[in-house]
Chain A
């Protein structure tokens, strides 16, 4: 009996360990030798690269859309139309972003990314139905919606790593709560947006995400010149 109990106990411990490992889902398990866990700087670089690509895609799509639908762009003000992510309070300048706390900045990024998952998939579906658009644009839309998802995961990993390293406090809200905080109206608003508006808003938000990530990296990794 003692043996059985002991083995069960050991198994339980192992299970717990695995559970924690799975939950945290780091790239390398803790304490593994010979496993090169990427540094926070590397993670940031990857994520920033990803966000840059995402922003580039959104910009391309937007310009394609503009060319197709609206030859003259400067004439039309978009002041009336708000993006569905307007409820998220985002720093509107470099200083504002730099002054914002790291945790909050990370949270903003995650909120933004979370808010765009559904609208983008919706957009992709609507793009697929468009017969006017070329297949390239359709591929771009699909790629974009995937990117958002991937980028969100990446930023989450970065946040975990930051929490692990003690760079940010653990007051960061979990993902589920982030999404839960989104007002219901936002999703409905997103659905009512036109494709062009959607693209316009997403272009802006992707630019926000990119810049916020860069600022965050500069602050956390503390490279020279930041």
Chain B
């Protein structure tokens, strides 16, 4: 309330001052008028300042007009005096420079111009007795910059339709204004209008020296001009000269329109095609680009089983599993057996015992009975069975079996021959593969295959290294072989012999065959042990076997020229490592009948071991009929089956599969 009163008072005060001043001036003017000219009806106006302005804030000028006082037009009739605010002497000084070229102009140069200083100029008569007009100002407030120069325009773009266009107008600041040092900061205002229009379009103040104008119509002429002022002040300078903008419509633009459209559509179509192709061939592409990484696993074994720890299922699976380390497989379980009878097994190995024999403990018994003599005899080492049984196909196995059997059969009968051949040293084995080697059966004797098959069918297992007729499985895991082996073998001998002879149709091979047979005989000597007592063999028999078997092939010799070179080593190792008789096994093993007795007993190929560890025998199967889904030969089938039966759970872990 008080404030309002105070401000009201101020207003009143100011208004009063204003009135006084106007009255004063009017009074002066009337006096002047009265003093100089007769009164007239027309609005009489004495000499007065028309304007005072500065162009660059460094100098300024004042113009006056005589008004209706015509007699004052001569120079010197009117004089200008000025007073600066800070002048020491409060004297009115006359205009420093009356411009000659321009009438009624007073020019204040730099020395007389003080910025931020109040000036008062007075228009006096020549005699200085009359003051016609007075003005007070500060120079910075009367600055009107010069118009910008160099106004021109450039085309920014034309609309797609070709009806509108945009331009960029550019100009330069007035040269008189010192913008570089920053003495004057200018802002610009652009106007434009259509040629025939009377109204100017005003754009916003622009600090820079360019301005873009949008939305102009083609085929129309435009006029553009610009002016400037000091940034924080109000006085605009003059306008620059106008420029004219005209852009004619270009119809040819449309010709490029469809071309670009065509390109765009083409690209889209190609992209769609690609996407379709990718989606249709997604599977294949996925396989190609991102081949599935096989998780580390054993084929056929579900890792879940391992996690659950179901050893029974696992063992059954493993038994049927093709992938395993044959050499290790062969070694470890046999080693377990062999451990107890180190010497014996070595001897047995040297004598060329097959896996079956090893399993049955033939070699072990033999070895143990014969002692070290046999063991040290390197020459007596028979060919070791190739552990690379998995790689052999059933055919080769069949051939092997056949050859072995044949040889065994032939060798069995003529004992004299046997002794002769054994005495004669080791005849060279013309066979590409030694008989001992189960894998590379003498494939050049295909005719012997039916012999094998028949023999197999007749269950003669003696000379077949892989097969043994198992009559029973003991609780401890021992396999009991059929006690009727000998009789059957005996029966079968002539049959075999005959068949073997039948097989020897090609007479040219007689000699070789004889030799082979002899070899086979001697190799099979150890195998044939008569289980007269049913389950056990006597030492006498064992000695017989061992004595009869004077000539043995070394492990190295026995190693056939197999197709699989690494097998050699393994077989060698198997041969050499064969030590440690299987002392664990307590079950008695049926040994094969003695040498002169050809084994004719039936044999059964163990197909599989079921969950209860019972052997699944398949008496009618042939070698070829052995389950061949696995790449491993049938030898592996019974062996793991039997092995599983003998393996204790803690040994299962050692099972190299």
| A132:B182 contact, CB within 8 angstroms | no
| B7:A132 contact, CB within 8 angstroms | yes
B83 near A: Cβ within 8 Å? yes
Return the contact of A56 from the options B10, B135, B231 (Cβ within 8 A): B231
B85 near A: Cβ within 8 Å? yes
| B4:A132 contact, CB within 8 angstroms | yes
B200 near A: Cβ within 8 Å? no
Bound together, the chains give a CA A77 to CA B118 distance in angstroms of 8
B286 near A: Cβ within 8 Å? no
Residue interface bits A181-218, CB-to-B below 8 A is 1, else 0? 00000000000001000000000100110010011011
B22 near A: Cβ within 8 Å? yes
Residues of A near B140 (CB, < 8 A) are: 204, 207
Bound together, the chains give a CA A207 to CA B234 distance in angstroms of 14
Residue interface bits A120-156, CB-to-B below 8 A is 1, else 0? 0000000001111000000000000000000000000
Residues of B near A78 (CB, < 8 A) are: 118, 136
Return the contact of B10 from the options A76, A194, A207 (Cβ within 8 A): A194
Residue interface bits B95-128, CB-to-A below 8 A is 1, else 0? 0000000000000001001111110100000000
Residues of B near A130 (CB, < 8 A) are: 3, 7
| B117:A92 contact, CB within 8 angstroms | yes
Could you say which interface size class chain B belongs to? 35 or more
B17 near A: Cβ within 8 Å? yes
Residue interface bits A148-192, CB-to-B below 8 A is 1, else 0? 000000000000000000000000000000000000000000000
* Smallest CB gap from A211: residue in B: B183
B232 near A: Cβ within 8 Å? yes
Return the contact of B18 from the options A55, A75, A95 (Cβ within 8 A): A75
A-B contact count (CB 8 A): 90
Least CB distance, A204 to chain B, in whole angstroms: 5
| B116:A215 contact, CB within 8 angstroms | no
Give 20 A-B contacts (CB < 8 Å), ordered by A residue: A48-B182, A55-B232, A56-B232, A59-B233, A69-B14, A70-B14, A77-B136, A79-B136, A82-B85, A93-B58, A93-B110, A94-B183, A129-B3, A204-B138, A207-B232, A214-B183, A218-B182, A224-B180, A226-B180, A226-B181
Least CB distance, B96 to chain A, in whole angstroms: 15
| B3:A204 contact, CB within 8 angstroms | no
Bound together, the chains give a CA A94 to CA B114 distance in angstroms of 9
- 9 closest pairs, A vs B, by CB? A77-B136, A214-B182, A225-B180, A92-B114, A59-B232, A218-B181, A79-B118, A204-B116, A56-B232
A33 near B: Cβ within 8 Å? no
Residues of A near B10 (CB, < 8 A) are: 69, 194
| B115:A93 contact, CB within 8 angstroms | yes
Bound together, the chains give a CA A94 to CA B110 distance in angstroms of 9
Residue interface bits B176-189, CB-to-A below 8 A is 1, else 0? 00101111010000
* Smallest CB gap from A82: residue in B: B85
Residues of B near A92 (CB, < 8 A) are: 114-117
Residues of A near B85 (CB, < 8 A) are: 79, 82
B86 near A: Cβ within 8 Å? yes
A20 near B: Cβ within 8 Å? no
Task: With A215-B181, A218-B181 as known contacts, state yes or no: A93 contacts B113, CB within 8 Å.
Answer: yes
Task: With A214-B181, A215-B181, A218-B182 as known contacts, state yes or no: A79 contacts B120, CB within 8 Å.
Answer: yes
B171 near A: Cβ within 8 Å? no
| A52:B231 contact, CB within 8 angstroms | yes
Bound together, the chains give a CA A215 to CA B110 distance in angstroms of 17
Bound together, the chains give a CA A69 to CA B234 distance in angstroms of 18
B244 near A: Cβ within 8 Å? no
| A215:B183 contact, CB within 8 angstroms | yes
A90 near B: Cβ within 8 Å? yes
Bound together, the chains give a CA A56 to CA B10 distance in angstroms of 26
Residues of B near A224 (CB, < 8 A) are: 180
Residue interface bits B209-234, CB-to-A below 8 A is 1, else 0? 00000000000000000000001111
B277 near A: Cβ within 8 Å? no
| B181:A225 contact, CB within 8 angstroms | yes
Return the contact of A94 from the options B138, B178, B232 (Cβ within 8 A): B178
| A95:B110 contact, CB within 8 angstroms | yes
Residues of A near B135 (CB, < 8 A) are: 74
> Which A35-94 residues have a C-beta within 8 angstroms of B?
48, 52, 55-56, 59, 63, 69-70, 72, 74-79, 82, 86, 90, 92-94
B11 near A: Cβ within 8 Å? yes
Residues of A near B39 (CB, < 8 A) are: none
Least CB distance, B119 to chain A, in whole angstroms: 8
Bound together, the chains give a CA A82 to CA B90 distance in angstroms of 14
Residue interface bits B125-149, CB-to-A below 8 A is 1, else 0? 0000000001111101000000000
Residues of A near B11 (CB, < 8 A) are: 69
Task: With A93-B113, A208-B116 as known contacts, state yes or no: A217 contacts B18, CB within 8 Å.
Answer: no
B21 near A: Cβ within 8 Å? yes
Could you list 18 further interchain pairs (A-B, Cβ under 8 angstroms) beyond the known A48-B182, A214-B181? Answer: A52-B231, A56-B231, A63-B234, A77-B118, A82-B85, A94-B57, A94-B181, A129-B3, A130-B3, A130-B7, A204-B138, A204-B140, A211-B115, A211-B182, A214-B183, A215-B181, A218-B181, A226-B180
| B17:A76 contact, CB within 8 angstroms | yes
Residues of B near A63 (CB, < 8 A) are: 234
Bound together, the chains give a CA A204 to CA B85 distance in angstroms of 14
Residues of A near B83 (CB, < 8 A) are: 79
Least CB distance, B121 to chain A, in whole angstroms: 10
> Which B227-260 residues have a C-beta within 8 angstroms of A?
231-234
Residues of A near B178 (CB, < 8 A) are: 94
Residues of B near A204 (CB, < 8 A) are: 116, 138, 140
Least CB distance, B29 to chain A, in whole angstroms: 13
Residues of A near B58 (CB, < 8 A) are: 93-94
Bound together, the chains give a CA A132 to CA B5 distance in angstroms of 11
| B18:A72 contact, CB within 8 angstroms | yes
Residue interface bits B65-98, CB-to-A below 8 A is 1, else 0? 0000000000000000001011000000000000
> Which B1-43 residues have a C-beta within 8 angstroms of A?
3-4, 7, 10-11, 14, 17-18, 21-22
Residues of B near A225 (CB, < 8 A) are: 180-181
Task: With A52-B185, A75-B18, A93-B58 as known contacts, state yes or no: A131 contacts B233, CB within 8 Å.
Answer: no
* Smallest CB gap from A206: residue in B: B232
Residues of B near A52 (CB, < 8 A) are: 185, 231-232
Least CB distance, A128 to chain B, in whole angstroms: 10
* Smallest CB gap from A90: residue in B: B116
* Smallest CB gap from A129: residue in B: B3
Residues of A near B14 (CB, < 8 A) are: 69-70
Return the contact of B86 from the options A86, A93, A94 (Cβ within 8 A): A86
* Smallest CB gap from A194: residue in B: B10
Least CB distance, B616 to chain A, in whole angstroms: 81
Residues of A near B232 (CB, < 8 A) are: 52, 55-56, 59, 207
Least CB distance, A18 to chain B, in whole angstroms: 38
